[in-house]
Chain A
């Protein structure tokens, strides 16, 4: 999904000129989810005892909704009706899409997922915060690092220690206040 959209930077917003390839692909994905819903829905086992409507009917209805609505959206996008991109206080409507930063953030979240078990939650979270803040342009690096470590320790203390959420404490293993 993401690769095909990345080939068309700046597509899909009302402000940006050019072909709405990304938006078209997204609408087609909605249609294909509906199609998959029908195909996979046909494979749902129905117990013979079911006298009322079985487990298939509602999935079929939802799939039909997705196909119909998705097709309508494909049609609309082809006719030139584009979606209005989300607005927000921190969103610059005139900015070009910064795919590099989006990719970096996604990469750090993925890295975090692989680090939780070997390094423990606090270290993995500190790395995520540090990496994300750096990707978004925070400088200098040492302030990011200090903030990351303090935040990770505070969260481990509040959620792991006080609230009893079992976050793996990593190197804090054995220290009670961190839920270790």
Chain B
């Protein structure tokens, strides 16, 4: 396929995505996505899992466009929360909170929101362009690879998602193992033998992926938050001034380079599963801090606009990058991507290297809808910030009660049997304890979804080699992939160590302008000013007692 063909296909995708009905679906998707991105305790992965019932009645293109809108919308919404809400946020948006929250407190919340929104748009659009060009080439390469190389790629995905997401390698791998184990329950697809069903007819069909995902995300989260609910009023920092005057000339001048740099950092990091958007935002923040000069550099830790612009751009670019392995190889590297893969499976669409050939109209409509959704998000986010702030203030009892109702709806509609609701509760309790003891959820979901595909490819590879495992590393391409894996690992461990040192340093400096720099190194020094000062949020969020983590 030449690039002219791809351009033609993209235009056809636009022709589909621009139909009024699909525009409406995209709008619905980005609205829901932004809302759940804004809301604490509920993210795009949970939302896609909860909305899986729509795959029963919508045709594939419509459902995929809705889910893509939720995916992109969630990225936009998250920044609003971390800038305006006076409590620590999710890990991927913590970096934004670092400077954005300070800006908001200094009365510059509008500028922070604007640079985040425009930066997300710029990065999202550039990254989607990159996706449109890169993905077909990767797909053309991918269709030539055999099961051995495919196994190698999935080993990379498993190990990076399992070991690099979250703070503890062993806990990530345990989470991955639990996901792989649950995926084994039921009939073996190759020999039709029952595995781990313990004679139960309910287990013979296997445990539904959506059921487990909804349980882990929604029920686990609701139970966990309920165990430690933050009581009292929800403190939202007010935004002043009309939205048209938000991004001043000076702000724009300081923002555009971080936007572009963030994009260039975020897209490749998203494409290679090296720890998710978390790493991308951190890298962008660190480089902006390093590149800033003079007065601007002094503002870091007190509300530097570069520290919002860069990481937000990196975050969105990484989100687009994640779609490259998903659409070209069928390998999800984040929980949301894994749920989108499930949506494809629901429609019996084979996800994998052949997707670009067998369902090119759908894929290109999806990519085109990303361009459209991005534009919608930019237009929606700035004027509608008042609505998002209102959503942010939903009373938490109603929010989590509502999440539970959606969860039981999603669970019941899998097979229309109340037993699934009981399984939902059991797996939800498992998710509760995983959160409590610091086990990441995403590896389990990825293992659950990729496990069966991995096993069948592995067995195909070994059938070809007549059971000789050496064949798994003998192919030059596979061997290269494993070498790249080792490099990724070495790099990310270095990165993580730097990130931790950096976070400790930033947290020590950020909240303690009066403390002499250098002496504020230990956690005690951070806690002291935070307890007396007005801003407790950033300091607590960036120093989560790292000495307790293993490794």
Count A/B pairs, Cβ under 8 Å.
276
Question: A117 near B228 (CB under 8 angstroms)?
Answer: no
Question: B56 near A163 (CB under 8 angstroms)?
Answer: yes
Per-residue CB proximity of A69-91 to B under 8 Å, as 1/0?
Answer: 11011001000011111111111
Q: Across the interface, name the chain A residue whose C-beta is closest to B452.
A: A58
Question: A101 near B398 (CB under 8 angstroms)?
Answer: no
Chain B contact residue count (CB 8 A cutoff): 92
With known contacts A55-B191, A113-B422, A13–B436 Cβ distance under 8 A:
yes
B-contacting residues, A50-78, CB 8 Å = 50-55, 57-59, 62-63, 65-66, 69-70, 72-73, 76
Pick the interface stretch among B121-129, B176-184, B256-264, B268-276: B176-184
With known contacts A95-B230, A128-B408, A72–B170 Cβ distance under 8 A:
yes
With known contacts A73-B171, A76-B550, A113-B418, A58–B463 Cβ distance under 8 A:
no
| Cα(A55)–Cα(B549), bound, Å | 37
| Cα(A165)–Cα(B52), bound, Å | 11
Question: A33 near B181 (CB under 8 angstroms)?
Answer: yes
Per-residue CB proximity of B491-519 to A under 8 Å, as 1/0?
Answer: 00000000000000000000000000000
Whether B425 is near chain A, meaning CB under 8 Å from some CB there, is yes
Question: A129 near B548 (CB under 8 angstroms)?
Answer: no
| Cα(A22)–Cα(B436), bound, Å | 10
Q: Given the complex, which residues of A lie within 8 Å of B546, measured CB to CB?
A: 84
| Cα(A102)–Cα(B409), bound, Å | 20
Question: A101 near B421 (CB under 8 angstroms)?
Answer: no
Whether B397 is near chain A, meaning CB under 8 Å from some CB there, is yes
Question: B404 near A12 (CB under 8 angstroms)?
Answer: no
Per-residue CB proximity of B216-242 to A under 8 Å, as 1/0?
Answer: 000101111111111100000000000
Question: B195 near A91 (CB under 8 angstroms)?
Answer: no
Which range holds the interface residue count of chain A?
Answer: 35 or more
Q: Given the complex, which residues of A lie within 8 Å of B398, measured CB to CB?
A: 133, 138, 147
Q: How far is the CB of B421 from chain A (nearest CB, A)?
A: 4
With known contacts A53-B467, A163-B57, A87–B544 Cβ distance under 8 A:
yes
Q: Across the interface, name the chain A residue whose C-beta is closest to B226.
A: A101
With known contacts A30-B177, A76-B170, A102-B226, A84–B57 Cβ distance under 8 A:
no
Q: Given the complex, which residues of B lie within 8 Å of A12, measured CB to CB?
A: 436-437
Q: Across the interface, name the chain B residue whose C-beta is closest to A89.
A: B40
Q: Given the complex, which residues of B lie within 8 Å of A52, measured CB to CB?
A: 459, 462-463, 466-467
Q: How far is the CB of A70 from chain B (nearest CB, A)?
A: 6
With known contacts A159-B409, A165-B53, A89–B422 Cβ distance under 8 A:
no
Q: How far is the CB of A7 from chain B (nearest CB, A)?
A: 14
- Interface majority SS (helix, strand, loop, mixed), chain B: helix
Per-residue CB proximity of B427-438 to A under 8 Å, as 1/0?
Answer: 011001101111
Q: Given the complex, which residues of B lie within 8 Å of A27, measured CB to CB?
A: 174
Question: A133 near B397 (CB under 8 angstroms)?
Answer: yes
Q: Given the complex, which residues of A lie within 8 Å of B428, measured CB to CB?
A: 106, 109
B-contacting residues, A91-119, CB 8 Å = 91-93, 95, 97-99, 101-102, 105-106, 108-110, 112-114, 116-117
Question: B438 near A86 (CB under 8 angstroms)?
Answer: yes
Whether B251 is near chain A, meaning CB under 8 Å from some CB there, is no
Whether B402 is near chain A, meaning CB under 8 Å from some CB there, is yes
Q: What 3 A-B pairs are tightest by C-beta distance, nearest first? A: A83-B438, A89-B40, A136-B397
Residues of A at the B interface (CB closer than 8 Å) are: 1-2, 5, 12-15, 22-23, 26-27, 30, 33-34, 37, 40-41, 44-47, 50-55, 57-59, 62-63, 65-66, 69-70, 72-73, 76, 81-93, 95, 97-99, 101-102, 105-106, 108-110, 112-114, 116-117, 121, 125, 128-130, 132-138, 144, 147-148, 151-152, 155, 159, 163-167
Complex A-B: 24 CB contacts under 8 Å: A12-B436, A41-B195, A63-B181, A65-B173, A69-B173, A76-B550, A83-B168, A83-B549, A84-B545, A85-B437, A92-B230, A93-B228, A101-B227, A105-B404, A116-B412, A128-B401, A133-B401, A136-B400, A137-B397, A138-B397, A138-B398, A159-B53, A163-B58, A165-B56
